[in-house]
Structure 1
Amino acid sequence: MNILLAEAEFNEENFLQSVENRIPVSNMKKIATYVEGIDEISNGNPILLVDGEKQALSFGIAKFEMRSIAEPEAEMAIRGPREGFTESIGVNTSLLRRIIKDPALKMKNLQIGKYTKTKVVISYIDGLADPGLIKEIEDRLNRIKIDGVLESGYIEQFIEDNPYSPFPQMLFTERPDVVSGNLLEGRAAIFIDGTPFCLIAPVSFFSLFQSQEDYYDRFWVGTFVRSLRFLFLGISLFLPAIYVAVTTFHQEMIPTNLMLSIASSREAVPFPAIIEVIIMEIAFEALREAGIRLPKQVGSAVSIVGALVIGQAAVQAGIVSAPMIIVVSITGIASFLVPRYSMGLTVRLLRFPIILLGGAIGLIGVMLAFILIIIHLSSLRSFGLPYLGPISTLRKPVFQDTLVRSPLWKMDYRPHLTGKYNPRRQKENLKPGPKHHSE
């Protein structure tokens, strides 16, 4: 479209500046190359080309349809904010700025993907985050040269420290309060346009078992719930393997009456215990996956009814024993207590090799699996930081916010691995209580 403008209304020496001052568009910028112009048009922004000018103006007036802010479905909250991120990176960063209003909150913009040209933002708090950490994240992101980025999982798989480890080395969340809490501890967040999930790095093994609601309840409640998570983590990982090992190799460890009850229930079962538990575990995992993929209206009903019907029918047909159904059910319930979905997937994956070791060499195999997991966790790093920190580093306070949740008024310092550049986060002696006035 060609537009003729009256010369008297504009300054000929700085024509673009005159246009920029007269057109009321807040998001306006100058572009100097064809590549920038093509990118702006691809993003839906019109550009103004002026005959004789070496630069053009881009007007950021593009508006795309987007999902409204709603409660996160993957991270349900009983107490806490009910708003979650959307697929718009602009909305997500604004939700974060609404919580952290300090100018120290920084945003670094990147673009990844040859064809998608996906916007990526590194967010951190200047003065809290390690500058070396931010530089490392930026270098790893700039190294990615692929056709496109469709979800945060693309980015995660390209920048994690150990891609062959089954354990997640980054945390993903769609809750702004979770991101804010981690930024205040000296970590960094990575926003990716087109996905409601934000990546957080670095993380530790214990941070993947923390929920933001742990800090919203009183510390006794938070400590109790967190202890339950670690207890049922062990049950989810090792209970089926221990059952197979004990019933196959170590029957003398079982009380006589219980052993007779288990033997009578397994009398008609044609399979050994290890085959029995693998069949039931695979069936349970298939039902759980089907419940996730099916529509919400029928997904939960299919998974629950399917488990009841298949379990009851399998016992009556003599394919599996009743104690095995109990063990698999307890194991499945225990796996639901893991608050992070990525860690829950890891637990489900590791359960099968542990069962095989327990069925092959008994409790020695179970202990061998436990030792191997500890060795592997001790060798892992998340952006250079120990995965089992702070317990592995034995830096005080070791248990302040790991296995237990200390009172907020005692957590005067940030985690030393991520907050060493500004360790103190609150004033001392904030313990609540009535004031004692001297008489």
Structure 2
Amino acid sequence: MFRKMSKRTAGGGGDPSAAKRSIDPHLGENLDYLRTIMGQSPDITIREFEYGQTGRQIAVAYAEGISDRPTVDAFVLKVLAIDEAHAAPEGAKDAKPLLNFIKTNATAIGEISVECEWKAVILSVLSGDTVIFVDGSKDALVCGTRGGKARAITEPSSQVVIRGPKDGFTETIGANVAQVRRRIRSQNLWLETIQVGEQTHTDIVIMYINGIAKEELVQEVKRRLQKIDTDAILESGYIEQLIQDDAYTPFPILYNTERPDTVSGNLLEGRVAIFVDGTPFVLIAPATFGMFFQSAEDYNQNFEAASLIRMLRFSAYFISLYVPSIYIAAITFHQEMIPTQLIVSLAAQRQNVPFPAFIEALIMEASFEILREAGLRMPRAIGQAVSIVGALVLGQAAVQAGLISSAMVIVVSITGISSFATASYDLALSARIIRFCMMAASGFLGFYGIAIFSFIVLGHMCGLRSFGTQYMSALTVFDAKDQKDLFVRLSWRNQLTRPRQADERNRVRQSEPKPDPAGEGHP
């Protein structure tokens, strides 16, 4: 399935000459070279035997752990070494006819190819395929036997829903592609493959729906992936950072998900999905700001509830971004804007606090971030308990010691809870970064600082692009049709067209529903 090589592929482990070296007709030379270039690694298994009645030596090589051992044993080794029904006829005793006979008659493998260079052979072995050498032949057969141990399909841990599918992507790229294929049974669902990384040769799949995704978008995604020149790709985050339009921004430019239904929905809207082998997180391009407030669950329940919850997410994001800064500005520069009874209460609480409001908020926010990070990194059995108990104990002790006011504890708690309500972890992380800068601006200039910094951030967001699509396109380029799934989600009856990034020739999603001819009185 994945045969395309990256431009830096040297193929031969630590020997660059393998990139141009051809297979030797002598079987012994080939096996010695394979053992040498693999560093005599014990997980590289080589099985030598004499094929049938031909008297010709053949050898099978594969890597333990990443090859599907039952497939190798049942459909390669057993057939070649034991099964007399597949013995070569008299005319196939020479090397080349014997190789062709094995390819066409003696292997029950669906994916099989002929290779003549070592770089392809070595990469195939290291990818989990099985290679068959025939003494006297300058070619080798590569049988698709990739497999080995893999994590079972489970519910995604980062995007949990109440109503919706419970399956999530795994670290196996073939299983991830199959989960989307199972949902979109269309001949227009096209895949293209590429391998990136001189040392890792990581398989990457570009998936899109032909006719819905714009051709220029697909070509741009392929162009950026083909330009990557690096040693290793270990996770989709590497790809995200290497192909995004702007590297210097706290906002996520590409959307990532481990839910197959989310990928399927975005493909049907004209976007492109990028699968990376070895990670359950799939990238989606292009991305806009509004996408990060959407959840897969929004589309599985009635639109009234989904719209309300989505507006709550928007509100929670802005609460997590602005509440500490507003408190600092009001308590430091704009006391006249606070009601009299409230300012008296706040002044009484802050009477013994030795720090200004900005330093007080900075201490509390930094402590909260440390507790949150500690809860994530500790074992799950105790991480959540430690973070909750630590926040309660530290907050109560700080208030009793007179280091922090009670109002500041409330402000930081509301901010922290609101940050957890954001649907996307990456977007919530951007709010955590910007919040500290916003607090500094409010600590020096009050509400004027908040306003100035907000305009700077908004201008930065309006200047962002995601594969040519404006990051704030739903607001900067107003289109009433694109507002149906932004702040609120209208009923599926009103979702007649796809978003603007879809191909103009296929913008219609569904036909307009016709009125019920039976009338209201029909049971």
Give yes or no for TM over 0.5. yes
Q: Are positions 1:226 and 2:310 aligned together?
A: yes
Q: CA deviation at 1:257?
A: 0.4
Cα distance per residue 1:8-66 (max 9 Å; x no partner): 26656754332222121112222232111111111232212234544321111232111
**Which residue, 50, 63, 71 being the options, matches 1:3?**
50
Q: CA deviation at 1:438?
A: 11
**Which residue, 419, 435, 438 being the options, matches 2:518?**
435
**Which residue, 168, 186, 197 being the options, matches 1:84?**
168
* 1:351 counterpart SS class: helix
Asked whether the equivalents of residues 185 and 419 of structure 1 are also in contact (C-alpha less than 8 Å), the reply is no
The code of the aligned residue for 2:409 comes to I
2: distance between equivalents of 1:10 and 1:106?
42
Q: Against the structure 1 CA distance between its residues 259 and 122, is the aligned structure 2 distance closer, same or farther, given a 3 Å change threshold?
A: same
2: distance between equivalents of 1:2 and 1:398?
66
Q: Are positions 1:326 and 2:418 aligned together?
A: no
Asked whether the equivalents of residues 226 and 403 of structure 1 are also in contact (C-alpha less than 8 Å), the reply is yes
Give the aligned partner of residue 320 of structure 2: 236
2: distance between equivalents of 1:228 and 1:40?
50
**Which residue, 184, 198, 208 being the options, matches 1:100?**
184
Asked whether the equivalents of residues 269 and 501 of structure 2 are also in contact (C-alpha less than 8 Å), the reply is no
Q: Structure 2 matches for 1:28-107, cutoff 5 A?
A: 28-107=112-191
**Which residue, 413, 418, 432 being the options, matches 1:348?**
432
Asked whether the equivalents of residues 241 and 366 of structure 1 are also in contact (C-alpha less than 8 Å), the reply is yes
Give the aligned partner of residue 166 of structure 1: 250
Give the aligned partner of residue 501 of structure 2: 417
The code of the aligned residue for 1:245 comes to A
Asked whether the equivalents of residues 129 and 421 of structure 1 are also in contact (C-alpha less than 8 Å), the reply is no
Q: Against the structure 1 CA distance between its residues 382 and 435, is the aligned structure 2 distance closer, same or farther, given a 3 Å change threshold?
A: farther
2: distance between equivalents of 1:37 and 1:3?
21
Asked whether the equivalents of residues 415 and 423 of structure 1 are also in contact (C-alpha less than 8 Å), the reply is yes
Asked whether the equivalents of residues 389 and 417 of structure 1 are also in contact (C-alpha less than 8 Å), the reply is no
Asked whether the equivalents of residues 173 and 199 of structure 1 are also in contact (C-alpha less than 8 Å), the reply is yes
Asked whether the equivalents of residues 482 and 500 of structure 2 are also in contact (C-alpha less than 8 Å), the reply is no
Asked whether the equivalents of residues 10 and 19 of structure 1 are also in contact (C-alpha less than 8 Å), the reply is no
**Which residue, 374, 385, 409 being the options, matches 1:290?**
374
1: distance between equivalents of 2:349 and 2:135?
89
- Larger deviation, residues 20-29 vs 208-217: 20-29
Structure 2's unaligned 5+ residue stretches are 1-47, 55-87
2: distance between equivalents of 1:406 and 1:388?
20
The alignment's C-alpha RMSD in Å is 1.8
Q: Against the structure 1 CA distance between its residues 260 and 10, is the aligned structure 2 distance closer, same or farther, given a 3 Å change threshold?
A: farther
Q: Against the structure 1 CA distance between its residues 41 and 114, is the aligned structure 2 distance closer, same or farther, given a 3 Å change threshold?
A: same
Give the aligned partner of residue 392 of structure 1: 476
* 1:122 counterpart SS class: strand
TM-score (norm 2): 0.81
- Larger deviation, residues 386-395 vs 177-186: 386-395
- Which one has the largest radius of gyration? 2
- Larger deviation, residues 53-62 vs 177-186: 53-62
What fraction of aligned residue pairs are identical, expressed as a percent?
44
Cα distance per residue 1:44-96 (max 9 Å; x no partner): 32212234544321111232111111111111111000011111111111111
The code of the aligned residue for 2:296 comes to Q
Give the aligned partner of residue 368 of structure 1: 452
Give the aligned partner of residue 19 of structure 1: 102
Asked whether the equivalents of residues 413 and 424 of structure 1 are also in contact (C-alpha less than 8 Å), the reply is yes
Q: CA deviation at 1:231?
A: 1.1
Cα distance per residue 1:91-128 (max 9 Å; x no partner): 11111111111111111111111111111111111111
- Larger deviation, residues 367-376 vs 178-187: 367-376
- Larger deviation, residues 409-418 vs 79-88: 409-418
2: distance between equivalents of 1:221 and 1:116?
46
Q: CA deviation at 1:435?
A: 3.3
Give the aligned partner of residue 17 of structure 2: none
* 1:3 counterpart SS class: strand
- Larger deviation, residues 154-163 vs 413-422: 413-422
* 2:206 counterpart SS class: strand
* 1:49 counterpart SS class: strand
Q: CA deviation at 1:386?
A: 0.6
Cα distance per residue 1:130-151 (max 9 Å; x no partner): 1111111111111111111111
The code of the aligned residue for 1:291 comes to G
Aligned residues: 438
Cα distance per residue 1:314-368 (max 9 Å; x no partner): 0000001000001100011111111011101000010000000001001011111
* 1:62 counterpart SS class: coil
Give the aligned partner of residue 23 of structure 2: none
